[in-house]
Amino acid sequence: MAERKPIISGNWKMNLNHFEAIQLVQKLSYALTKDDVEAVDVSIHPPFTDLRSVQTVLEADKIPIALGAQNCHWESSGAFTGEIAPVMLAKLNVSLVIAGHSERRQLFGETNQDVNRKIKAILNAEMTPIMACGETLEQREAGEMEEHIVTQITEGLSGIKSEHVADMVIAYEPIWAIGTGATATPEDAQEVCALVRATVGNLYTSGTADKVRIQYGGSVKPGTAPELMSQPDIDGALIGGAALSSEDFAHCIQYRLR
Ligand code: 13P
């Protein structure tokens, strides 16, 4: 089985202006040790308006945290008022971009086809996509979770080469667990992350499935991170609320010491 390096990402959502962003990054750099960032890949995903400031701090202070974005458009330029092109992000040394977060899907109508276009565009700009998937409570209670997840993965990855899939990240975020304090149990999270991996295995090869890194997201906190991270198919976490506190985010990253 492939050794998959854990990856823990902080999705700041629509929080923190660029001054606050700089402060959080500096505090985070003090809270993390060399061992932490050697053991775990860490990325932060600030709002677009913070990216340049955060990039400058990360590079000036040589902080080993990857810069990420929360979204992008699939075109590389043109008349798309209000949108941001992947190449613009790449120019800021953004290395990871979330595609298909449930808030984008639910509040802004993103479809699996949109997510698929975005993933292709992110890859074209030589960045790594974090493709998010997850079911609503209604879908889970109606027994539709499995079909929904398999469809999101299948349509989201349509036409994407095996070697790209192996290097990308998929985040399983049950919508009912996001921002609610209701973390999925480690067993529930493991079950769906295993389903995600099996789906990749069916679409590609077991080698690809073995390499792809799968994050769990939804109310991950320092107290719940260790057990979630110990599950065999969970290789990381996509963290919202707890990523806005340098202490909590660092403690999540230090899950193996807890
Ligand atoms: P919370 O950690 O605040 O539940 O957010 C999860 C999330 O949506 C990360 O992308």
Ligand 1 atom nearest residue 242's Cα: 2
Local confidence band at 127 (pLDDT 50, 70, 90 cut-offs): very high
DSSP 189-250: HHHHHHHHHHHHHHHS-HHHHHHSEEEEESS--TTTHHHHHTSTT--EEEESGGGGSHHHHH
Residue 218, CA atoms < 13 Å, CB-side half-sphere:
24
pLDDT at 191: 97
Is 180 strand, coil or helix?
Answer: coil
pLDDT at 142: 96
Q: Which residues' Cβ are closer than 6 Å to ligand 1? A: 11, 101, 173, 178-179, 217-220, 238-242
Give the catalytic positions in this structure. 101, 173
Local confidence band at 1 (pLDDT 50, 70, 90 cut-offs): low
Q: What is the pTM of this model?
A: 0.97
pLDDT > 90: percent of the chain: 95
CATH fold of 7-257: TIM Barrel (3.20.20)
Residue having the nearest C-alpha atom to atom 1 of ligand 1: 240
* Nearest partner of 198 among 153, 159, 161, 158, judged by Cα: 153
